[in-house]
Structure 1
Amino acid sequence: MISASGSLDRKALHSLFEQTLHIQGKSVPVAETETLTNLGFSSLDLAELTVRLEDHIGKELAVEAAEIRPLRTVGDLLDLMSALSG
C-alpha cells in the first residue's frame, strides 16, 4: 500500500521483492534474516527491483554504491527500499 507521503509500506515492498525473485525463478525467503547471497540475488535483480519501485512510487531513485555495499539480508534490502521510497 502507498502511504500519503507516496512511500510503500513494508508489506508492499516485500511483495515487489517476491515478484522480482519469482520472475527470476528464485526461491522466495520466509525470513528477513535470509541472506541475499543464499537467494542468488544479484545486481541485476536489484536493478529490476529498483525499477519496479520507481514505477510504483512514480519517481526516479538514486541508489548510491555506498548504500548497496552493506546489504546482506532481505531485511537490509527492504530497509534501503523503504528509505529510498520515503
Structure 2
Amino acid sequence: MNRNEILDLMNTVMKKRGRSPLADENQSTREAGFRSLDFSETALRIETVIGRELSFDAASMRRIETVKDVLDFFEDAVRS
C-alpha cells in the first residue's frame, strides 16, 4: 500500500465526517481536524485492505503532529 492510497483512505474518513480533504502534508493534524478517532478508523481501513493487523510502537504515535507524520507512520506500519 503506497502513500497515495493511505492518503485516499484518510480523506475517505475526513469526507465521511463532513471535513475538508487533507491536501497539505505539513499541516498539523489539529489544524486539519484529523482526530484520534479518524486515525483509528484509517488504521482499520488499512488493515482491511492489506488483510492483516498493523503492528506498531505506541511511543511512535506520540510523535505524530502533522499529516506527513501520519502518512509516514502508516507507511512504516504497512511495511512491518
Report the TM-score when normalising by structure 2.
0.90
1-structure distance, mates of 2:9, 2:22: 13
Q: State the Cα distance separating 1:32 from its structure 2 match.
A: 0.6
Give the structure 1 partner of residue 24 of structure 2: 31
Deviations 1:25-79 (A, max 9, x none): 1111221111100122211111100000000100011343312111111111000
Give the number of aligned pairs: 79
2-structure distance, mates of 1:42, 1:63: 18
Name the structure where helix makes up a greater proportion of residues.
Answer: 2
Give the structure 2 partner of residue 4 of structure 1: none
3-state SS in 2 of match to 1:71:
coil
1-structure distance, mates of 2:39, 2:22: 16
CA RMSD across the alignment = 1.1
2-structure distance, mates of 1:46, 1:53: 11
3-state SS in 2 of match to 1:34:
coil
Deviates more, 1:62-71 or 1:32-41: 62-71
Matched, 1:55 2:48: yes
2-structure distance, mates of 1:54, 1:32: 22
Give the structure 2 partner of residue 3 of structure 1: none
Report the TM-score when normalising by structure 1.
0.84
1-structure distance, mates of 2:22, 2:39: 16
